[in-house]
Structure 1
């Protein structure tokens, strides 16, 4: 489920629409999708965000791929998303876990202390660890941690780890070698001219 995790919102799509890009990615083989509507160029009206989320959710359901909402607890609950992903400062994680007892709950972690604290929680599904490399998709991203730190955090983590941040077809092999359970990508797929080729490269590298 976590191996090829696509994250996107309307702000990430330079050509075409998010639903068009998402369906192409689903056909090409992504295993999870997170709807993240944030930043310059994103939808601002709650009803528009909700309608876009529902369209994306229906596409994910069509291809039997989990649909995760980024941060927006109210939206995830209202539309019955498969799960929620939150950062360290977005929502109180204990409250989130109580609201989503039987859903996928992802938690962003950046360092040893955050992973150690997360290891004490009951109900978290996976950790999103990064940014591994410099990212252009998140303006407020923390400093990149690099592969060595990623490996250390993977060893410390008691749950599956999805790496995030600046991952592309050129550096993904090093990320897989850190023994992560999945890679999450934004730009490499959102801006890909040929999604089939991009996803094939991301998947093929893992089998080497």
Structure 2
């Protein structure tokens, strides 16, 4: 079954003034769509290889599937991780807040860690808060591109795109300002629901 571009859960201008409408249109309608198309193409080519028995290009198409598949997944999470500033809260509550306290020693320590990790991504990539089932903990990770530097088995809960296309129109080279402002539009209800499902 072909993958499809998920619709945004809010209008393109809903994240103003922290993320501008033009960036959202380009990011969602062009960049994310490109990952969806790339993933579909890669999976079609791998299916053709299985049917023909010709795996000469399996390395290439496997790489394409990893890159575009991870890009599609992370962007799909990213959109729902955000909401309009007047609909969010400064910090999570409940079980997610307790897990952050256990894993990082408090919300402010987590926030500092997450922002530092996102700012320190080399080139293009992501800052990620993930749930690690094997020890029931939360971890902050970096991803270069979309698929590199991850840990196997973790479940992404909160992701921040730090590819330049995510912020350059508004922030130019000021990635730290963009990363800081991201915390004004986090949909903690979505993050908490992802955490709840991951722990089932």
TM-score by length of 2: 0.31
The structure richer in helix per residue is 2
Please, what TM-score do these two structures have when normalized by structure 1?
0.30
Bigger radius of gyration: 2
Bigger fraction of residues in strand: 1
